[in-house]
Every structure is written in C-alpha cells, then in structure tokens.
Structure 1
Amino acid sequence: MSARWTAVSGSTIGSVHVRDDLPLQDAHLVRVEDGTTVIAVADGHGHHLHFRSDVGSRIAVRIAVDLLADALPRLTAVPAAEVVLAEVGAALVERWTAAVLDHLAAHPIDAESAELVEDHARLTQPYGTTLLAMVATGDVLGILQIGDGDAVVVTTDGVAARPLPEDPALDGTRTTSLCQPDPLDALRLAVLDAQGDHIALGYLCTDGFSAARVDANGWWRQTGAELVSYVRDRGLPWVEDRLPGWLEEPARIGGDDTTLALLVREDLTTDGDLRSSPTGTAWPRRG
C-alpha cells in the first residue's frame, strides 16, 4: 500500500529583526490533500539591497507549492519524477520573476530605494530569496532547492540524510538566490523511493535554524532522530503544539528568522490525542 503523508510548519522572527524593526523575511507554506503533501520554505535575504525580500519569499513558497501540487499526477516513479522536478524548477524561476515584476509595477520603488539596485537590468534584486520545497506522494519523495538552508530525510530507524548535492557557491556568507541572473544554475534536485529507502519523514529549515546550533556537523542528524521519536511516541499534534517553542530559541540566540516545515508518513504517527503527554527533553538541544 502506498504511503500517505501529512505535514506541519512554523516560523519565528529573529531577535535581530525585532531589534531593527524589520518584518519577518522567512515564509512557509504547506498543502495536504488526500494523503499527498507539499511543503516549502523560503528565506528572504533581509540585506538592505534586498529591501523587499519578505515579499519575494512569500511569492516563492506560493508558486512552488502551486507548481508541485499541479505536478503530483506525474510524480509516479523515481526516474520520471526527476524530469518533472526539473520542469517545475524552470517554471518556478519563470513565474517568480514574472510575479515579482508585476509587484514592482504595482508598487514602484522610490528614488532613494532605486539607488540601492546595483544592476537595473536585474529588477528582481530587491526581492531576493532562497527556496526549498519537498513533495511526497505515494512512495515518491522529491526535493528542490535554490540557495542555502537544509533539506533532510529521516528513515524509520531515525537515520538522517541530506540527499541534495552540495552547492559550491555557498560559502557561509553569501547564498545563491532566485534573484541572481542565472537562478537555474543553482537549482538542486533529488528524488527518492520513500518505501525502498524506509523514509519516515522529511524536513526543511532555513539557515536561521542551523546557525544557532553548536554542533554544526551533527545537529541535523540529532534533529531528525528526535523528530521521528517524537512523532512516533507522542503524535504529530504534540509536535505541532511545541514547534513555536522549538523555533524560538534559535531565533532569539542566532538573531535570524527561523523556519521549519515537516512532512510525515501518516502511519508513523500514534493514534489518539497525545497533547497532554509529558514534555521530556527540550528539543532541539544545542550542542
């Protein structure tokens, strides 16, 4: 029997953005329908050169979820799904660019802001954002990404993996972006057989989540293992209730907006309402 999937997501504004009176730059969106799930997160750059990146990130997640939802009927097998995801990536760049230019036409920037645009042939610069998306339908799980952030899948045994290839352009300071001249050059894709690989869940997070972790190389493994344990033992409603609190710590300590979206096999979750379960160890732990 093919797997059925569900999802939750959340976001918390970073303490630095609160201090500087900036809006939340991250965006997230989830769509669950008849056991199929699409999740997306985006991290607007927040730099003064990208002064509308909060708008850019919201546009990005909406378009990504719409495109992946429309593609669901064609995501039936791993080899074919790779072609479909590549098509979605190309359409995403095209539609995001068009939507951003429509917003710019409807909301022209003033002369002072216009001086910040380094390349007037690249009018999407103020809207710069990353984008991560994950789709699960039956036994096919697909991931696409432009820019930084993490996409992680976790097996039923709690073993985590990051299946996307590394982006050599990411140096810890700068990120590839939907607003760069050639965003498709930064597109990374992966398609997995969820049944054959024993995948229990997948999660996406912006770099505000990872930057506050002491264990830079292992936090995502620990997070994956704990998520599987929590969902299995206490149920997804319990996880959903606690997600805002889990995001608050890295957003406060690291200062950046922090977002996480989680998709889960329905048969991993426990039956019944476990919202009253004891909290146990706080998650995610630092270090």
Structure 2
Amino acid sequence: MLHHLFHRLLSPIRRVATTMCGEGSGDKPEEAAAGPAPTPEAPPGTPWQAIVASVAGASHQRVGLPNQDAIASQTTRQEGIVLCASDGHGSARYFRSEIGSRLAIEVGLAKIRTFIDRSEEEDDERERWARLLEHEARDRLPREIVLAWREAVMAHAAANPRPADATAAANPADDPPPESAPEPASPTEEPGEVPIDAYGATFLAVAVCPRFILYLQLGDGEIVTLEQDVADFALPRDPRLLANETTSLCGQDAWREFRVRLDLFRSNRPDLVLIATDGYSNSFATDQDFLQVPGDLWTALRREGPAYLERNLAEWLTESSNLGSGDDASVGLLFRMPCEPHLLEAEGSGTKEEVSP
C-alpha cells in the first residue's frame, strides 16, 4: 500500500524523467531515474538561479485556513543568492503563524544578505578569515535572525491588538507545542495583547556566493544537496523532532537551536540544493523515496529548462500534499545550469543533443 502511494506521489516528477530519458512507459521508475551521465560542474561565473513554489494543504483548505508556509529567494551582490523558507505552526495556539512565517522570510533574507556583505571584508590571513566567518555563521547570525524576528513580531502585535472577544480558530491537525516554545501567556494577560508564540514558525535557509555556501535550519523541514547525481541531507537530523514536535523561532533561546553548516568552496559545488517544508517531505514514507526527488528535478531542469519547472512545480506539490500529508507544502530550488536549456550532453558521447520541450 505504501509503495503504491509513493509511486503516485513521485509520479508527476518521475513521469517527466521517464519520458525525457526515453526509457519506456514508466512501469520501472527506478530505472528511469538513472537518466543521463553526471553533469560537469557549471563554469565559474555561471549565475545561480532559484525556483520556489508554495501551496496550501488540503486539510487547511477544507476549513478555510490560509497557507502557513512562506518561501522566497533574493539575489545578492557578486553573484550571490539567498533562499529562505518558513513553516508556521498553524494550530490554535499559534493563530498568527502565517504572519510569523512571512516575517521570518523578510528578516532572514535581510540578515543573511548582511552576513554575506560582511564576509567580503576579508582578513589578510585566509585561515583567520575562515575562523571568523564560521563564528559569525554559528553564533552571531542566528542571534540576529531571532532578535529581528521577535522585534518584527512585537511591532506587528502592537499595531494589530487582539479584540477582547477574539477566539482563535482551531486547526483540525492541531499540533503539540514546539519543544522549545515558551509557556502560553498567563491568564492575567490583557485581552488586547498577543503573545509572541502566536507567531511561532520554523526557519530554513541556504545562501550561496562565490566563496562559500551556508545552510541554516531551525525546526522541521529538509535541506538536500545534489552533487554528481548523489542526493544527501545537508544537515544532521535533530533527534528531538518527533511526530509534530519542532523547535521554533518563538522558543526560549531559539538561536541556540539552529543547525548550521558552512562550506568554503575549495572543491566541487553542489549542482542543486532543495529546501522543503515538512508538508512536502512528510508526503513520503521513507527518506530514500524523498531523496529521489532532487535527481528527478535536476533531470527535468537539464532537459526542459527552468521555465518548465516554474510552470509545473506548484501542481506537483498540490498532488503530493493531497495524496500524502495534507499539509501546506513549499519547495525551493537553487541551481546553476551547466548549459543552455534543452541542450544536454548525450549519454555515452561527447556531443550535445537538442531535446524538444
């Protein structure tokens, strides 16, 4: 039953890979996924591109709740790009979490761009610069993101007080409080006040610039890299994130809960980086099934070009969410095209073939 469900979840992307590789009817998706030979790394100076999509889950649509996810990308100076995603917790206690996720994206993009700008002020000694950059990434940047988010949340709460008779709409998929979230507001709280935890949300980000790539994560969701057709999780799993438990921006000392990875570009860069909120990744029963997706998307990018994914990604997310978790689903991709769209080196030859879209 579960295997059949995965076939259906993967089918929108897998059908593309099967058709483009010309390997039959799609009855053997594992073989179709093999695709062409590994792609050479994009030439230096090739710009990074981003594609993002976010859809409201079926469970939210049925009761008229908004999409709690937010996702966006932004370019930086000197060929850099930042991609951020956030998943609002969505249950009754977190009744403004769709706003919290949007604010997380706004402050995350701004603070990470500032971090990249600071990184350009290189110390004369490279090793010293690398140590300082690592410290900034692991300590200063998470603090700045959390502080800026809390300030933005408090400003929004002050400008939009809660009416005395307001009641929060309950989420049918009511999730337990995030593990690191503060205790609910005390009964003596004034009716017009809105507690910070009402805006609770997760945070995921990837920043790429010519000299390094940075991965940040607080809470659930996934960041996956694809390099030479091998997909892997960019960050270690947090063993505390079981079922619906998650760390959160509204938690006490939330900056301490960030998982951070900083890679200086001394060797190969990934071909593609994927960010997904848990509404998408939870639509797959195993990590192995989920890890097939980046390779399929990369094949589609190389064969059909970015515009094809931009047109279809939201539809694929909707199908996966409807058949799987029923939750809001968001996916963001960062990639560098090794060649012009519709041109791909033919497997087993040194020539390029044109592929019709």
Percent identical: 30
Matched AA of 2:260: L
Task: Quote the residue 1:28 is aligned against.
Answer: 71
Residue 106 of structure 1 is matched in structure 2 by 159
Partner of 1:37: 81
Q: How many angstroms does 1:4 deviate by? A: 3.1
Other-structure match for 2:185? 119
Alpha carbons 2:88, 2:202 under 8 Å: kept: yes
Mapped pair 1:192 → 2:263: yes
Counterpart contact for 1:78–1:140, Cα < 8 Å = no
Q: Please tell me whether residue 207 in structure 1 is matched to residue 250 in structure 2.
A: no
CA contact (8 A) 2:302 2:342 kept: no
Residues of 1 paired with 2:209 and 2:265: CA distance? Answer: 9
Q: 1:104 to 1:232 in 2, by over 3 A?
A: same
Task: Decide whether the 8 Å contact of 2:301 with 2:341 is kept in 1.
Answer: no
Partner of 2:29: none
Query: Once the 2 structures are TM-superposed, how far is the Cα of residue 166 of structure 1 from its aligned partner?
Result: 2.1
Which residue does 1:96 correspond to in 2?
A: 149
Pairwise CA distance, 1:80: 4.1
Q: Equivalent residues in 2 for 1:123-272 (5 A)?
A: 123-155=195-227, 157-194=228-265, 196-214=267-285, 216-253=286-323, 254-265=325-336, 267-271=337-341
Task: Point out where structure 1 has 5 or more consecutive residues left out of the alignment.
Answer: 279-287
When residues 256 and 133 of structure 1 are mapped into structure 2, their CA distance, relative to the original with a 3 A threshold, is same
TM-score, scaled relative to structure 1: 0.87
Q: Secondary structure at the match of 1:228?
A: helix
On the 8 A contact 2:306/2:341 being kept in 1, the answer is no
Q: Secondary structure at the match of 1:4?
A: coil
1:64: which partner in 2?
108
Letter in 1 for 2:306: L
Normalised by the length of structure 2, the TM-score is 0.71
- The answer on whether the counterparts of 1:42 and 1:206 sit within 8 Å (CA) in structure 2 is yes
Deviates more, 1:67-76 or 1:236-245: 67-76
User: What is the deviation of 1:43?
Assistant: 0.3
Consecutive unaligned residues of structure 2, counting only runs of 5 or more, are 1-43, 121-128, 171-182, 345-354
C-alpha separation in 2, matches of 1:31 and 1:195: 24
Q: Would the aligned equivalents of 1:237 and 1:273 in 2 still touch at CA under 8 Å?
A: no
Change (3 A) 1:227 1:75: farther
Q: 1:269 to 1:242 in 2, by over 3 A?
A: farther
Residue 237 of structure 1: how far off its partner (Å)? 1.8
Give 1:84 shift: 2.7
Q: Deviations over 1:19-55 (max 9, x none)?
A: 0110110001111245211000100001100000000
Q: Number of residue pairs matched? A: 274
1-structure distance, mates of 2:268, 2:132: 18
Q: Is this contact kept in 1: 2:223–2:235, CA < 8 A? A: yes
Q: Is the 8 A contact 1:6 1:35 kept in 2?
A: no
RMSD: 2.5
Confirm or deny: 8 A CA contact 2:99 2:199 kept in the other structure: yes
Q: CA deviation at 1:114?
A: 7.8
- 1:55 aligned to 99, 103, 122, which one? 99
* Cα deviation, residue 14, structure 1: 0.4
Determine helix, strand or coil for the equivalent of 2:162: coil
- Which letter maps to 2:92? H
